[in-house]
Chain A
Amino acid sequence: DAKTTQPPSMDCAEGRAANLPCNHSTISGNEYVYWYRQIHSQGPQYIIHGLKNNETNEMASLIITEDRKSSTLILPHATLRDTAVYYCIVRALQGGSEKLVFGKGTKLTVNP
């Protein structure tokens, strides 16, 4: 399974952009990068995913490098409610289905 590496923690000022990096140097050509976040004691929430093109939705933007070995999740205007653990995940294909392999994630703290 492709592994991901994320910084354990980051801080961001409210209203500023939060840029969360993720390294996935062993990613395969057909594996997607997914981002989830987990607010304390709740189930993980899907944010965005991509293969090789940059993606944007109402929550965030995902920038994937051309060699696909790293990506960055961008929260354009962070709010206090964005304080959470953010997981970068590469989907692993196994046994005819795909499972999510979670790393340790990045704890993002948005400060007022």
Chain B
Amino acid sequence: KAGVTQTPRYLIKTRGQQVTLSCSPISGHRSVSWYQQTPGQGLQFLFEYFSETQRNKGNFPGRFSGRQFSNSRSEMNVSTLELGDSALYLCASSLDGVEVGNFGPGTRLLVL
């Protein structure tokens, strides 16, 4: 079956703008988690959505938000972009958030 897909794959924005990233999980998976990866901080957990509800949250400012739709697709939004938000944003899906997560290829965001 098809894997986790993320769109867009690459994105360039300027400071102060906002951005929305999309993640389509594997069919039948109801849990979607988001991670930020930077060279300095590595992979950091942002939040997890399950059945359209945020179930778990990492230590990121409120500028980072997300949502999940009834078909389990998820979006994350970053408002008022800062240079430090430049990163690879990864999402992972699983059946119910307990078992192993399957990662997508990521969206690489560059903030100028």
Contacts and interface: CB of A to CB of B under 8 A. Distances in A.
A44 B90 contact: yes
Interface stretch (B14-22, B67-75, B78-86, B96-104): B96-104
B19 to A, nearest CB: 19
B105 A42 contact: yes
B55 A103 contact: no
Interface residues of A, number: 22
B85 to A, nearest CB: 18
B100 A49 contact: yes
Interface residues of B, number: 27
A46 B57 CA distance: 22
Interface in A32-59: 34, 36, 41-46, 49
Interface stretch (A13-21, A61-69, A71-79, A91-99): A91-99
Given A97-B56, A99-B33, A100-B45, A34 B4 contact: no
A36 B104 CA distance: 13
A104 B42 contact: yes
Contacts of A103: 42
B106 interface: yes
Interface of A: 34, 36, 41-46, 49, 87, 94-105
Interface of B: 4, 31, 33, 35, 42-45, 48, 50, 55-58, 88, 90, 92, 97-98, 100-106, 108
